[in-house]
Structure 1
Amino acid sequence: MPWNLPEPMLSAPVPQPHLRPGWAAEAKWDGFRALLSADAGKVELRSRRGTEMGPAFPEIVAGAAQLPDATALDGVM
């Protein structure tokens, strides 16, 4: 499966978030930014710069194998 996820959205510090009705915000905690791609039972977990992270987080890779095909996730672990 080729690595073809979109570029990750990067956070920016603001003194007070401007939230539209129905929106929510959360504090940014330190952690690892990761992009996950799951398709046909194959999972790729990479840093935002493309470094393979799967071997360091086997439990995430194993759980993500159950996701529907063509799933892409962007988050912090």
Structure 2
Amino acid sequence: MSSTWSLPDPMLATPTADPALAPDHAAEPKWDGYRALVGRWPDDRVLIRSRSGGDLTRAFPEIVGAAADLPDNTALDGVM
């Protein structure tokens, strides 16, 4: 079964001199690691893509295994 769903573009951090946030905003610390998107398709396919588009799927088999339990058409954006 083919799917037209695809991973979104990664969210990128914006440096700021003042960490004060507006009431409707959130922030997180910048951790060192790989910024990546994890996606799960309805055909049980899981993909881990770096922010530059590289395929990191084989490098993180434990994340692939955990992502298999995500709902169809799910994307997670984060640092690993």
- Relative to the length of structure 2, the TM-score reads 0.81
Q: Give the share of equivalent positions with the same residue, in percent.
A: 56
- Relative to the length of structure 1, the TM-score reads 0.84
Q: CA RMSD in A?
A: 1.9
Unaligned regions of 5+ residues in structure 1, if any? none
1:29 equivalent to 2:31? Answer yes
Unaligned regions of 5+ residues in structure 2, if any? none
**What residue is the counterpart of 1:8 in the other structure?**
10
Give the drift of 1:53.
0.5
Q: Say how many residue pairs are matched.
A: 77
Which SS does the other structure have where 1:73 is aligned?
strand
Range with bigger deviation, 62-71 or 10-19: 10-19
**What residue is the counterpart of 1:46 in the other structure?**
49
Which SS does the other structure have where 2:78 is aligned?
strand
